[in-house]
Structure 1
Amino acid sequence: MIGAFMAILNIQITNASLLDIEGGIGTGVDNGSWISTSYLIGEIIVIPLTDYLSRVFSFRNVILVHATLFAIFSVACAFTSDLPSMIAMRGLQGFFGGVLIPMAFTLVFTKLPKAQQPIGLAMFSLAVTFAPAIGPTIGGYLTENYGWQTIFFVNVLPTAVMVTLLYFTLDRQPMQLKLLREGDWLGIATMAIGLSALQSVLEEGNKDDWFGSPFIVRLAIIAAISLSLFVGIELTVEKPLLKLRLLTQRNFGIGTVAAVFIGFALFGSVYLLPAYLGQVQRYNAEQIGAVLAWTGLPQLLLIPLVPKLMQRFDARLIAVTGALLFALSAFMNTTMSLDYAGDQFWVPNIVRAVGQALLLAPLSSISLGSVAPQDAAAASGISNMMRNLGGAIGTAVLATIVVKREQFHSNIIGQSVHLGREEVRARIAQMTDYFIAHGVPDPTNARQQAIIALGNAVKRQALVLGFSDTFAIIGIVLVLAAIALMLTRKAASGGAGGGAH
């Protein structure tokens, strides 16, 4: 669970500090997004590979080696001095850290007694929902007080503790190197190429004007062809990398769809809040982190109570309640104004924290409740990959919607702000006097400054309305997740994992 927490934490820990990192390694804002993209590419490739790697090299060897290398490449990121080396180190950090997420999930279903599985699921959901919320808080605080390099050292001590404890407690198993000959290598190649290209399209598309960019078009074609081949291969080969046929099981299939929606909302909201506070309210990294903390900290109190709830109530009821509360928190942010800042996010963030706390553990119980124990690792890889993919899609879609809706609202407001209106002329005159009184002696120049300031005010108001619209999208997606969860069958009592076949 420590490993899963650290791996997920590192997806978001650079978000609030991106401008500082870009300055530190001497790259522009346009290229800096690859610092996050490369980590996600590494992680999303290795998650579905985890089951195969653990069968070939043994569960124990894979988790110990990957966790150690995760810490090493984390530290290496702090010593990079240019963008290419940062992209390489972050990609390797994501690749070696990515296995820790599905492996933690698999341990719940293969090592814990059935009665303790709800506790394990609650701990896993704490990693999945608390880590993204607290990541920018930790990153922002460290960056503002100690420099951006320090955010890459936070992994060292927890990983050392984890590796030490697992070294003495995990069962030793023989490696099965003969499985390398039976590997689904064509499936692995098409998956790696397809997911890398798709992740790059999602992360870079908005910045590069989507299909107006030949680079994005080429990547999209590569992704479509590679992933189509991958699905075809997985459904026809005797020993597939991913057991996609597991998706035909009702609860696992519907639960995976719900996981995509929840990943969309979870990672999308963690993207939107810092973006709004930074772009509209001009918050620094530490201030952004303090606001997001109120999404994370309440979960520390609430998630330990979820296993008790799962023993008394239907997991579907708990999960649907969590999804609807999460949706409510998003809808609460759809009426924002220029005065809407950190204090106004307090109540919605508390509601969101309650919703997220109630959501992940019951969802995992519903999805994995009918999966056979021998398929738990494969199902874990599919579920975690799809949730992360949903998060990548959510971030890309919401970033585009902010831009498009800001342009829409700017045009609407701009139609009312013209010199033919007395209120506009009066406002410009008032602002001209303000600039003259504050050191702009030339009246013509002062009037020009006033017109620019009025245009910026229109743009800022339009940006607020654009962000409000995107929160509505998150709310709608979460309602769809709740509807999907209602279509599942009742999960096995006690939590999860492998009872029914």
Structure 2
Amino acid sequence: MKTVGTDMFQSGPGKPSSPDPLTDDAALRRTWVAVSAAILGVFMSILDIQITNASLKDIFGSLSATQDEGSWMSTAYLAAEVTVIPVTAFFMTVLGLRMYMLASGFFFLVFSTLCGYAWNLESMIVFRMLQGLAGGALIPMAMTLLLTRLPPASRPTGLAWLMLSTTLAPAFGPTIGGVLTSMYGWPSIFFINWGPGILLLIGLAHGLDHDAGKAGALRQADWLSIATMTVGLVSLIVFLEEGNTRDWFDSRFVQVFFGLALVNLSIWIYRMFSRTSPYVNLRLYARRNFGVSSIVGATSGMALYGSTFLLPLFLSQIAGYNSFQIGLVIMWMGLPQIFLMPVVARFAKVYDNRLICALGLILFAVSSFMNTNMTADTMRDQLVASQLFRGLGQPMIVLTLSNFATARMELTNMSSASSLFNMSRILGGAVGTAILATLLTTREKYHSMRLGESVSFFFEQCA
């Protein structure tokens, strides 16, 4: 694998080269405005996965929900976000890129506001699901926008900023949520989206030209594939998110959703491979660069989302930190990335991206091992070093993986590539969180049993 640089985006063999994007200074500035706005939208969308983590006690108390019931808040958002990502390319064709991005941004703000006004758990779950549907579409559209509208020399820079937003959002989510909750109450974590959201809409409206959609594509759509994909992905997320709280396959509920996921995703995959022009090209996974980078991206997503799940839980339940204090700890994972990402982007043009990615994975692994000795006496100052190591490693991983995934990718496949790469990463995060939650429950039961044995033995000795 050669060093990935500014020549990584090429047309496929035997196909005419696509026309270069406009290089006029004014047009380029407008394109950068649109790309910047789209990156802001990605940050908002991913931020809202994690922003409730440090505020769950306040939200559950206000909505009179238990922790098990409240878990449906994140399940609904994540299921909706993962489901909409693969069909984004299809809806871009139907509505046009500009219209679809503006509509997604607008409805994301509307449903964010409704989340802040939720009057009970049921209304919160519905609004979170609708928020995820709108926000999830912004993620692959931003990647498609910068890869197809920016000149080749500017794409690595745009990709670096996009990847920075995807790693900063999980890091700063609990921090921002904790600070806002402690100062203004939990509804403010949803209302805060209006600030960047207005900038998002203005930037997209100014930077993107009108493009005609193809409404006729709705009549030619493979609705059976879309339906099976939707049911399959939603069932998979519900299975992963709810399995631990319901004791996995001992629960009929979990068994049903596992079966729905298995059957529907199998049908969807078969139909995608059997059609000559599928709405998402799953054959891209067979390409070495894209397949390997998607697998590594999914596993690193497991680690990233898993760490942002475990640490706030530890600080809240063991250390007794409030939402503001939790945010002050988590933010140390995000600060190094702001300064390091531009450096990594420059190095990625010169040095072998495999070496940079390997170094990032090593740093992330070291940070995880540094957290293995946490006890009830562990305080904030003892966690800063591990957070810094994690923040140093993440930019090296996500930027180089995105370079590998899009290297020499044809423009006709760019939408599918961005959708599948982002879906793999988010699904990896869901799997990682489910595994860690299960391990945590298992170890709690084990230690509870051991404590019970010790107590029984103590009383026997006293007798």
Q: Given the two structures, how large is their TM-score scaled by the length of structure 1? A: 0.82
1:69 aligns with 2:107: yes
* SS at structure 1 position matched to 2:45: helix
Letter in 1 for 2:240: L
1:184 aligns with 2:222: yes
Q: Quote the RMSD (CA, aligned, Å).
A: 1.6
The structure number with the bigger radius of gyration is: 1
Where does residue 112 of structure 1 map in the other structure? 150
1:150 aligns with 2:222: no
Where does residue 300 of structure 1 map in the other structure? 338
CA distance in 2, matches of 1:64, 1:43: 17
Query: 5+ unaligned residues in a row in structure 2: which ranges?
Result: 1-38
The 8 Å contact of residues 144 and 286 in structure 1, kept in 2 or not, is answered as yes
Call closer, same or farther: CA 1:183–1:349 in 2, change over 3 Å: same
Letter in 2 for 1:175: G
The 8 Å contact of residues 184 and 239 in structure 1, kept in 2 or not, is answered as no
1:416 shift after superposition: 5.7
Where do 1:210-289 residues align within 5 Å?
210-289=248-327
* SS at structure 2 position matched to 1:44: helix
The 8 Å contact of residues 325 and 354 in structure 1, kept in 2 or not, is answered as yes
Which residue of 172, 176, 180 corresponds with 1:138? 176
Higher RCO (C-alpha 8 Å, min separation 6): 2
Which residue of 46, 51, 54 corresponds with 1:8? 46
Q: Given the two structures, how large is their TM-score scaled by the length of structure 2? A: 0.89
Once structures 1 and 2 are overlaid, which stretch shifts more, 275-284 or 131-140?
275-284
Letter in 1 for 2:248: W
Letter in 1 for 2:424: M
Letter in 2 for 1:286: F
Which residue of 389, 413, 416 corresponds with 1:375? 413
1:408 shift after superposition: 2.8
Q: Deviations over 1:58-86 (max 9, x none)?
A: 01110011101101110011111011111
Q: Deviations over 1:280-324 (max 9, x none)?
A: 111111111110010112211111211111122111111111111
1:327 aligns with 2:373: no
* SS at structure 1 position matched to 2:85: helix
CA distance in 1, matches of 2:394, 2:410: 27
* SS at structure 2 position matched to 1:312: coil
* SS at structure 2 position matched to 1:99: helix
CA distance in 1, matches of 2:250, 2:152: 52
1:22 aligns with 2:60: yes
CA distance in 1, matches of 2:350, 2:454: 57
Which residue of 341, 353, 378 corresponds with 1:340? 378
1:28 shift after superposition: 2.0
Letter in 1 for 2:284: L
1:312 aligns with 2:350: yes
Letter in 1 for 2:244: N
CA distance in 2, matches of 1:258, 1:49: 23
Letter in 1 for 2:40: I
CA distance in 1, matches of 2:363, 2:450: 32
Where do 1:474-493 residues align within 5 Å?
none
1:197 aligns with 2:235: yes
1:417 shift after superposition: 6.1
Q: Deviations over 1:243-272 (max 9, x none)?
A: 001111110011111111011111111101
Once structures 1 and 2 are overlaid, which stretch shifts more, 236-245 or 374-383?
236-245
Q: Deviations over 1:443-490 (max 9, x none)?
A: xxxxxxxxxxxxxxxxxxxxxxxxxxxxxxxxxxxxxxxxxxxxxxxx
* SS at structure 1 position matched to 2:349: helix
CA distance in 2, matches of 1:48, 1:20: 34
1:392 aligns with 2:398: no
Once structures 1 and 2 are overlaid, which stretch shifts more, 103-112 or 68-77?
103-112
Report the number of matched residues. 424
CA distance in 2, matches of 1:367, 1:418: 57
| Identity percentage of aligned residues | 44
Q: Deviations over 1:155-192 (max 9, x none)?
A: 11211111112112112111111111221211110010
CA distance in 2, matches of 1:108, 1:306: 18
Which residue of 358, 364, 389 corresponds with 1:351? 389
Where does residue 208 of structure 2 map in the other structure? 170
1:414 shift after superposition: 5.8
1:146 shift after superposition: 0.7
Q: Deviations over 1:107-155 (max 9, x none)?
A: 2211222222221121111111110010011111111111111110111
The 8 Å contact of residues 316 and 366 in structure 1, kept in 2 or not, is answered as no
* SS at structure 2 position matched to 1:108: helix
Letter in 2 for 1:44: V
Letter in 2 for 1:158: P
CA distance in 1, matches of 2:298, 2:271: 23
Which residue of 91, 94, 104 corresponds with 1:53? 91
Letter in 2 for 1:27: A
CA distance in 2, matches of 1:50, 1:389: 16
